[in-house]
Amino acid sequence: MKVTKYLRIIYFHVYNAYCQDDRFGTSVPHLKAFGLVGCSLSFLIAVICALTFQCLIGTRISFKIGLLIEVLSLVLFYYLLVFNRMFEKIYWEFKGSEFDQVSYRILSWLVVITGFAAVGLYGYFLVSPVK
């Protein structure tokens, strides 16, 4: 499935950024990478759902539904990226492959940054009351 492949490529580059030279001290790089990728993409999914709901229905999405979307997507990303030591399989699958290039690394980090920025932009432009 293409979506999971793109997800694994993004996770690989974030995970690889924290595993340089095996010097991560007391940090756990696969959980740190999951936190960045999982939260960022969960935010992006929640914003897309909220925008879709707002365009189709005309009202804002409730806090509980938004939170449910985020939690479910985090659980899904945990299952796809970390559960059963999947992060090691992902690392060795893409290490030295055609996807281990600077252009893919930049695109991966842009997706992660976009996920975090989308929440702020959504909150500032669409949720805050106009004065």
Q: Domain count of the chain?
A: 1
pLDDT digit string, tens, across residues 37-54: 999 999 999 999 998 988
**Range of 112's domain?**
2-18+27-127
Compute the distance between CA of residue 91 and CA of residue 114 in angstroms, rounded to an integer: 23
Angle, CA of 126, 130 and 131, to the nearest 5° = 160
pLDDT digit string, tens, across residues 54-94: 889 888 888 899 899 999 999 999 999 999 889 889 989 99
Judged against a pLDDT cut of 90, whether residue 119 lies above it is answered with no
Compute the distance between CA of residue 16 and CA of residue 33 in angstroms, rounded to an integer: 9
pLDDT digit string, tens, across residues 104-113: 999 999 999 9
Whether the CB-CB separation of 45 and 115 falls below 8 Å is answered with no
**Whole-structure pTM value:** 0.85
Tokens of 35: 């936190």
